[in-house]
Structure 1
Amino acid sequence: MKDALGALLRPSSVALIGASANPAKLGHVILKNLSEGRFRLYPVNPKSESILGLRCYPTVLDIPGKVDLAVLSLPAEACVPEAAACVEKGVRVVAVTSSGFGESGAKGRRLEERLVSTVKGSDTRLLGPNTMGAFVPSIGLDTLFIPREKSPRPEDGSIAMLSQSGAVSVAFLEKAAASGIGVSACVGLGNKADIGENDLVQYFSEDRRTKCLALYLESFSDGRRFVQIAKDVTRSKPVVVLKSGRTSAGARAARSHTGAIATSSDALVDGALAQAGVIRAYDEQDLMDVAKALAYSDRIEGDRICVVASAGGFGVIASDYVTDDCQGAGLRMARLSRRSEQALARVVPGFASIANPVDLTAGVTDEMYDAVLGIVQADPGVDGVMMSLELQPPNITKKLVGIAARRARSGRAPIVVSAFGGERTAGVLREFESRGVPAYPTIWRAVRALGALSERGHHLRRRK
């Protein structure tokens, strides 16, 4: 399986069966997206000699040399014979982007069974059907049938996204691009008729480009196996899962979406994920927020948080969220040592608060932030630091981004940033992200990220 997944995610040759010269067709969009990739690309269309300047082949069997990955963009009924041709050709992975299979009723389920039977027993593996395929920015692999001008793609990064929904994966990629967050790969699981989340989680556990795995699932291919795999993987890499179908209504919707069958109560899912060391997300934004925090910082060693704010109100709000059990972050406010308080008193204005939360007031400067971060990060009673920023004070400049990034890299306690504001503030938050500092537009989302880092640390300590 590892070799097959390598062919899917690092192919040297890709065939697009159903390539089209018509810009309105999905086969044209996919070909255009693939055309910038660093691999040999073979459009397959018996009615065209060339598309986008690329020579077309009548069938996959007419392609010279080997084919690692074949992407099928065809009506569902046409996929079975084309998959059979791929098996004959020795294609390693067939990604079927077409819908109309197990998610669409009895007829579709029978068609999916035929598709699976076609590749069963061969060296060819199946991704999907009903999948968006794969996006790997480092090699320009992009099988999504969404034009890039409608949905910008993120840069190369360290989060691997696995999704049972094409729309969720596309939205995740677009949001990541807008936020300056990079991904190592994004794979659409579709109906999971063959390749599933268990296979891919194992693959990405060994991928050096990937520091965190983020999953959207409507069902588990094999729940027991997932827990076993995740328990092993989370020793070295964090895994975050957004599991939908939590209610009876959600489970019914999942069946009509990807043919997913819910087999366990949500309470059992919760317990199983916790046992495996997996952190659970509860909506699509939470999935991204938690994944980027874990990709940048991996963990914090405890639950004691120091809040450093440039405005008293933000410090108070942060203190509420950190200590409010109803919010479920699982954190507490750190108690600063006397030595830390004495050091703070030497660098902040006399009217500023040196207790936690540390209120630097509107007279704050970049240099003051630098000194304060160094002091609180060195305090043995502090496990994590939240910078609750107000970017409007006159002596705060963009140099603060570099200061925070340096402190985050070198300091003992990880740093998370929050800043509430408009477009200018959003731009600065993106700069923090680009320097590897998790940054959020609300205080609660920053606290939630710290909670996830603390949960990750707890899982790892429990296993020692």
Structure 2
Amino acid sequence: MNALHRALFEPRRIALVGASADRTRLTARAQLYLRKHGYTGDILPVHPREAEVLGEKAYPSIADIPGEVDFAYLLLGTQHVEGVVDAVAAKGIPAACVLADGFAEAGPEGAALQARLLATAKAAGLRILGPNSMGVINLNARIACSVNAALEADSLPAGRIALVSQSGSMMGAIMSRGAARGIGFSHLVGTGNEADLSAGEVAGLLVEDPQVDAILLFLEAIRQPQHYADLARRAHAAGKPVIVYKLGRSPYGAELATSHTGALAGSDAAAEAFFRANGIARVTTLEGLLELPALLIGRKPLAQPRRAVGVMTTTGGGGAMAVDCLGVAGIEARAPDAAAGAALEAAGFPHHGRLLDVTLAGTKPERVAAALNGLQQAGDTDLVLSVIGSSAQFRPQDSVAGILRARDAGLAKPLAAFLVPQADASLQLLAEAGIAAFRTPESAADCIRAWCDWRLPREAPAAPAIAHALPERPDEADARKLFAALGLDSPFATIASPQDAPKDVAWPVALKILSPDLAHKTELGGVKLGIADSAALKQEAAAMQHRVARMAPQATLTGFLVQSMAKGLGEAILGFRRDPEIGPIVMLGTGGVTAELFRDVTLRLAPVTEAEAMGMIAEVKGLQVLAGWRGLPRGDLAALAQAIVAVSKLAAREDIAEAEINPLMIHGEGGGVTVADAWVVRR
């Protein structure tokens, strides 16, 4: 393990700066919890007036502590932190944690304070956890250096799952929820504002820890995305799944996450693309965060997920709930295929439809095992789910015995269980056996969906440099020239005034106003289609110039763009953006004026390969008609895929914030694509 890992997770000498002698104070908790839960190292309270704090010798300042110190926890008010960080750095302490809030999340003054604190730390080689961090817990080493009230518990079950949480309160909440289920943790860390150490970097320190089998992340924002990418690659190589619960799926959640931590929020769709690309499994339920590890530990991502499961139940209503929730999550409860059907018939189980209901056949362990083993023979499912009724509550040993027997048969397909009643004892038995067990049908569906979505980290293609000059304030003509440099060249002409005549255009044409200030021209009357001849063009251009100048008086008008009319089989919106959290992304969706209304889009990290581009096309519902749906003419989806790849190469241009083609007209097979409207924004 490296020096930072030892300082954070195995410190033998801990300085508690601002420790209180009043046992009722928040700032006394870290010292109390360290001793309560078995810490045997040196606790070094720092207090300017007390010679002793809670039975430990105290020191008036950090400089007065004799010898080396591994870790410092700063339990101080915001106004005192900056000066003490100077002293911590001067002492040569390798890592410090800051409890106080009031930094980047508090506005410009707090952000400036946080920047100064970080500059001091960097100059001295000091690594900072926080600010706004509730500390570090290593349960296997009995180190509870935290003020989280969950540590009031008399005992804390240690385990082999690590949690890194940007929310300190959730760190304790998840630990307590796990304890109630018999699920123990190896490490728990609160990263807070992440002025220095990000959750991704901290989690990366745990990949090689022999006490860790899986890493959980509770995130409000993605800071320093390169750390997560590195974490995920190394974790997959080590066979340790990384599982995330991230806030911000709604605009309200994103707003709260931003205000809480001072982070700049990106879009949730971009975060989803980021996790998928890096092989990080994402859950959307808090229960799922605790329940998914048992399904992933010891397994690799499915090469070709069928997104289907076999379901056996001892309760009809409970089984129906599971089937319904799975369906909402995009997972099919599939009827037994021929192989599974034959095995079930041989074992004496009649089977009809998607749900194998064995309620009337009896729930003896050998019968449950036989039913589960029969379903495991199916060649078209990813997992077998056992839904258990009242026996899980009243006869826990019997209720899980059949599942354990089926597991011991050695078949490769995973087994999991949804317990319909409140059945803590059965849940704990299954957890101890390493079998994924779910408290609700919603979390069962969430976890199975997350497992089917789980992928190996992608190998990102190279993004070659694009040598093309772009004005500081580009208009549509400039954007089109940029796309032409990428291989998307659709002929057009420009004119400076209404009296000019375009050259080399085929009539009828489309006319558009040119301006670096107008991304949406249609609403302002800045677009006219189907103009038949030169005379009509001059008339329309004069009227358009007057109309747009009146409706957008602040806009700079740079001329007009003229393009021959074209008709395609379909329209797409194709865009590029630098997401504030995760960086370059490429977007594809159904195009035209209703693109923002329907939001039928998909995202990937940029740049993408042609295979990834084809995968994006398959995910956009509005484009499926171009794949020959019900005998309709096929669109040139190969050309669309090439266009996606081309636009994604803008990832190499650090000077571009966003770019868009809407619509990109898709012609019939072999007909290519046409850029009908384009836009680009400089950073």
Establish whether TM, by shorter chain, passes 0.5. yes
2:133 partner SS: coil
Is the CA contact 1:234–1:278 (under 8 Å) kept in the aligned structure 2? no
TM-score (norm 1): 0.87
Contact 2:90 2:124 in 1 (8 A): no
Among 196, 211, 214, the residue aligned to 1:212: 214
Aligned length: 452
User: Helix, strand or coil: the match of 1:204?
Assistant: coil
Alpha-carbon distance, 1:126 to partner: 0.7
Match of 1:328 in 2: 329
1:427 equivalent in alignment to 2:425 = yes
Match of 1:450 in 2: 448
Aligned to 2:318: 314
Equivalent runs, 1:132-211 vs 2, <5 Å: 132-148=134-150, 154-211=156-213
The code of the aligned residue for 1:317 comes to M
Question: What's the secondary structure of 1:91's corresponding residue?
Answer: coil
Which one has the bigger strand percentage?
A: 2
Structure 2 CA distance for aligned equivalents of residues 132 and 149 of structure 1: 11
CA contact (8 A) 1:304 1:332 kept: yes
Aligned partner letter, 1:439: A
Does structure 2 conserve the Cα–Cα contact (< 8 Å) formed by 1:298 and 1:453? no
Aligned residues: CA RMSD? 2.9
Hey, what's the Cα distance between the residues in 1 that align with 2:252 and 2:323? 37
Q: CA deviation at 1:4?
A: 1.3
Query: C-alpha separation between the residues in 1 aligned to 2:178 and 2:393?
Result: 31
Mapped contact 2:311–2:356 kept (Cα < 8 A): yes
Q: CA deviation at 1:8?
A: 0.3
Partner of residue 279 from structure 2, selected from 277, 280, 286? 277
Structure of greater Rg: 2
Question: Shift in Å at residue 378 of structure 1?
Answer: 4.8
CA change 1:314–1:296 in 2 (3 A) is: farther
Q: Give the whole-Å Cα distance in 2 for the aligned partners of 1:134 and 1:406.
A: 39
Greater alpha carbon shift after TM alignment, 161-170 vs 252-261: 252-261
Q: Go from structure 1 to structure 2 and tell me whether the alpha carbon gap of 1:204 and 1:146 turns closer, same or farther (over 3 Å shift).
A: closer
Please say which of residues 48-57 and 170-179 is displaced more in the overlay: 48-57
Write out per-residue CA displacement over residues 180-236 of structure 1, whole angstroms, 9 at most, x where no aligned residue.
Answer: 112121111111111112312322222232222221222222235534543453453
| 1:88-114 residue CA offsets vs partner (Å, 9 max, x unmatched) | 221110001111222222332222222
State the identity %: 28
Aligned to 1:367: 366
Cα 1:238–1:250 change in 2 (3 A) is: same
Q: What is the CA–CA distance in structure 2 between the aligned matches of 1:217 and 1:200, rounded to whole Å?
A: 13
- Aligned to 1:440, which of 438, 441, 444? 438
Question: Aligned residue for 2:338?
Answer: 337
2:395, 2:379 → 1: CA distance? Answer: 28
Using the alignment, how far apart are the partners of 2:292 and 2:179 within structure 1? 16
Distance 2:212 2:332 in 1: 27
Task: Report the TM-score when normalising by structure 2.
Answer: 0.61
Between 217-226 and 128-137, report the one with greater CA deviation.
217-226
CA 1:318–1:256: 2 relative to 1, 3 Å: closer
Mean Cα displacement is larger for which, 232-241 or 265-274? 232-241
Structure 1 residue 354 displacement after superposition:
7.1
Q: Deviations over 1:409-428 (max 9, x none)?
A: 64311111111114xx2332
Contact 1:159 1:295 in 2 (8 A): no
C-alpha spacing 1:285/1:399, structure 2 compared with 1 (3 Å): closer
Corresponding residue SS for 2:189: strand
Matching of residue 261 in structure 1 with residue 259 in structure 2? no
Moved more, 295-304 or 106-115: 295-304
- CA shift, 1:248, in A, is 4.2
Q: Secondary structure at the match of 1:158?
A: strand
After TM superposition, what 4+ stretches of structure 1 lie above 4 angstroms from structure 2?
148-154, 296-301, 378-382, 393-397
**Contact 2:164–2:217 (Cα < 8 Å) also in 1:** yes
SS of the equivalent of 2:205 reads: helix
Q: Quick one: distance in 1 between partners of 2:77 and 2:415? A: 50
SS at match of 2:16: strand
**What does 1:13-412 align with in structure 2 at a 5 Å threshold?**
13-35=13-35, 36-148=38-150, 154-224=156-226, 226-227=228-229, 229-235=231-237, 236-262=239-265, 264-295=266-297, 302=305, 303-322=307-326, 324=327, 327-333=328-334, 335-338=336-339, 340-348=340-348, 352-353=350-351, 357-362=355-360, 363-392=362-391, 398-405=397-404, 407-408=406-407, 410-412=410-412
Report the secondary structure of 2:90's partner residue.
helix
Q: Does the aligned pair in 2 maintain the 1:329–1:452 contact within 8 Å?
A: no
The amino acid across from 1:377 in the alignment is: Q
Larger mean Cα displacement after TM superposition, 92-101 or 308-317 = 308-317
Deviation at 1:131, TM superposition (A): 0.4
Q: For structure 1, list consecutive stretches of 5 or more residues without a partner in the other structure.
A: none
| 2:138–2:186 contact (8 Å) kept in structure 1 | yes
